[in-house]
Every structure is written in C-alpha cells, then in structure tokens.
C-alpha cells in the first residue's frame, strides 16, 4: 500500500523515523526498482540553519520545499550528486526528509546495472558494500535526477509503501523482524552553527 499524503503531513522528525523500514519504489520503463530505507535525515526550515529554506527563504531551488507534503525534492550537490528528499509538514512549511541510504530489494540485478552498469554478481566487495549507502549512490541506482524534482510521491512512478506484495515481490524474512532506531548528528553541515548538533539523523541499528 502506498503511503498517503497524511503520512508526510506530520512533524518531519517523526516522518524521518517512520520511513525507516519502508520500501522506496521507482518505476523505470515499467519495471520497479526497490530498496528498503535504512537511513534518513530531517530538515525543518523554520528553525534549522542546515535547511536550504531556513527562515522561509524562497528561491527557484527551494520552491519545491514549500509544496504539498508527499512531494519529491531533488537537488544537486558538488555539481554531480543528486539527493532525494520527501517534503513534509503542511504545505507552505519548508521541511523535508533526506533519504540517505537503503538496502536493495526486488530485482537486485536491475538496481546494480542502473547503479554500476553491470550485474550484481560482477561487483567487487567494495562496490557491494557501497551499493546504496549514501544519497547520491541511492539516486544513481534509482535513476533519479533533477528531472524528477517536484513529482508526487502519490503517483505511480515514485512512491513509498510498507508492503511489497502489490508489486508481486516477496518480503525477506529479516524485514519482518523488529528493529531499533539510532539517532545522531547529520552529515556534511559544518556551516549550520547550532544546527550541527541537532540529532536529526536516524538509522536502523545495524543498517548503516
């Protein structure tokens, strides 16, 4: 079942934690690319100097952050890596959850070819270890770019669900096990003054 808009229209930190263990699905050429979210970060514009729209700053880049909850906000960093975020809270409140990492599910071969241009069995141990453990790596594996910025997470091309059965996929046994959530400082925000210390990064224990 796809997550509804109401799921995203809540406190960003709550959404960031509740997304852990959910399945992110990207449909490409009719085929689903799937991963299980294992790491997220929360960004809240009204109070967070690490957020692109801190203090309600509106620019062409940040406009998507003011959109309806359940909208994809995708931006480019270092001129080469894309980052996927889910807009949260009521429309007009600039806030979002960054999807930092995941575990491959479904057709792992297809994910591998999108990420590396070769099959999963051909990956080196280093490549396998670093498959989806970062926002840029995740976007590359899902073939997400700025072209998808602003798309709805309620549609059929990019969405989040809590079950893989509607996709005709089996849920691995380990996904049904309970897990604990860890939290800590976010990554790469040395410019953000006091916000550096906000413990708004969340991950499944053992999933980083």
Tens digit of each residue's pLDDT (9 = 90 or more) over 66-119: 999 999 999 999 888 999 999 999 999 999 999 999 999 999 999 999 999 999
Find the length of the chain: 208
pTM of the complete model: 0.95
Q: Work out the percent of the chain whose per-residue pLDDT is above 90.
A: 90
Could you tell me which of 155, 19, 166 has the C-alpha nearest to residue 85?
19
Tens of pLDDT, residue by residue over 122-152, are 999 999 999 999 999 999 999 999 999 999 9
Across the chain, what does the average pLDDT equal?
Answer: 95
What proportions of the chain, in percent to the nearest 5, are helix, strand and coil?
25, 30, 45
Q: How far is CA 64 from CA 14, 32, 187, 195, in A?
A: 20, 25, 22, 22
> What's the DSSP call for residue 3?
P
Distance CA 41, CA 55 (A): 19
Could you tell me which of 23, 43, 41, 42 has the C-alpha nearest to residue 32?
23
For the record, the structure tokens of 42 come out as 């929360």
Distance CA 156, CA 164 (A): 14
């Amino acid at each position: 079942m796809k997550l509804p808009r109401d799921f995203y229209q809540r406190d960003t930190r709550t959404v960031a934690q509740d997304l852990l263990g959910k399945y992110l699905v990207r449909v490409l050429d009719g085929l689903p690319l799937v991963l299980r979210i294992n790491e997220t970060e929360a960004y809240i514009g009204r109070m967070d100097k690490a957020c692109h729209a801190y203090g309600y700053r509106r620019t062409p880049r940040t406009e998507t952050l003011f959109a309806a909850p359940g909208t994809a906000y995708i931006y480019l960093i270092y001129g080469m890596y894309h980052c996927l975020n889910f807009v949260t809270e009521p429309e007009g409140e600039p806030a979002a959850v960054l999807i930092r990492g995941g575990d491959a599910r479904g057709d792992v071969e297809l994910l591998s070819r999108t990420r590396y241009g070769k099959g999963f069995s051909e990956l080196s141990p280093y490549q396998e270890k670093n498959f989806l453990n970062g926002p840029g790596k995740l976007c590359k594996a899902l073939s997400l770019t700025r072209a998808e910025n602003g798309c709805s997470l309620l549609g059929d091309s990019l969405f989040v669900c809590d079950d893989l059965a509607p996709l005709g996929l089996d849920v691995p046994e380990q996904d049904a096990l309970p897990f604990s959530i860890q939290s800590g400082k976010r990554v790469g925000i040395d410019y953000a003054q006091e916000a550096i210390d906000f413990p708004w990064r969340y991950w499944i224990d053992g999933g980083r």
